[in-house]
Chains A and B, each alone.
Chain A
């Protein structure tokens, strides 16, 4: 029952997040979401044997469609937070899309947004790690109890994914307003 409600929320998050960005950020994030969704397809297909999912509606083996929606939201939020951190810390009005320092902020945003999302979903039982296959042996992060390898994996992923989102968010956008590096 708990997982059914969570799965429903995972579907709802797409229109809710889109609306919140539209309403309060004056930004159409449909393009970011589509780009994040595509990255999610790639990542889930490539790593499918390494996790067990426990939701209902699956698209490839045990990978739920709702997980792809989570990637869409995660990349949207990570890119927005990273852009904001970049502008705030470097005291700039706009993002220089090819400034290499943005990679640092992408990784920082991953630690702030993506990893807590990962931790929450794991603890809620949405998925479990196939530790028998992963053979992770770096130990756990204090307090969070999450494997260090998961955090490092996210940091590496966030070196790649946000650039793809920035490159395509405007082109993928339904409304062609706001956004776009």
Chain B
């Protein structure tokens, strides 16, 4: 087995508890709820789209979908909601998110792009997964500059970021 993938899979296993510890230690914030909500969304998404990607890790929970990828969703949504809230507060000069303020969608999209696109690019380029392009039939025929990723990927992430951060925020306190 590719040693790079072994290292990445180990990182996949430790990234969620490590992130939890770092937030607890340096931000005085318990992100357990965000991590759990992110995991639930990740399970849904991976089961729904399982056929469209091939994963190359060893320890899997559904067909070839690895636990190490599920923890990626956990980390991603924790970071996205955190950065989105920071951006919201900074840009709108406030100290908290106003409940039901639709402007949060804009910040979720920005934070989603900042966090998710590099994570997705890294995972794909390092061989953690491959796109089943024979099934996906992506045909926009343009790549995102610098990242060299299909625009369909970033569009999909934008749509994910319209939905999932709300789910995370909705349940983060209850799941802690």
Contact = CB atoms under 8 A, between A and B. Distances in A.
Contact of A160 (B44, B137, B162, B175): B44
B160 A160 contact: no
Contact residues of B: prevailing secondary structure: helix
B52 interface: yes
Interface stretch (A8-16, A119-127, A149-157): A149-157
A85 to B, nearest CB: 19
B114 interface: no
B137 A46 contact: no
B115 interface: no
A57 B155 CA distance: 22
Given A42-B162, A46-B159, A168-B166, A163 B47 contact: no
B174 interface: yes
Q: How large is the interface on A (under 10, 10 to 19, 20 to 34, 35 or more residues)?
A: 20 to 34
A47 B137 CA distance: 12
Interface residues of B, number: 30
B163 A38 contact: yes
Contacts of A170: 100
Counting chain A CB atoms within 10 Å of each CB, which of B52, B135, B136, B163 scores highest? B163
Given A45-B159, A134-B51, 5 more contacts: A46-B159, A97-B170, A156-B47, A160-B164, A167-B170
Interface of A: 38-39, 41-43, 45-47, 49-50, 97-100, 133-135, 149, 152-153, 156-157, 159-161, 163-164, 166-168, 170-171
8 contacts: A42-B159, A43-B48, A50-B49, A99-B174, A100-B175, A152-B47, A153-B47, A160-B41
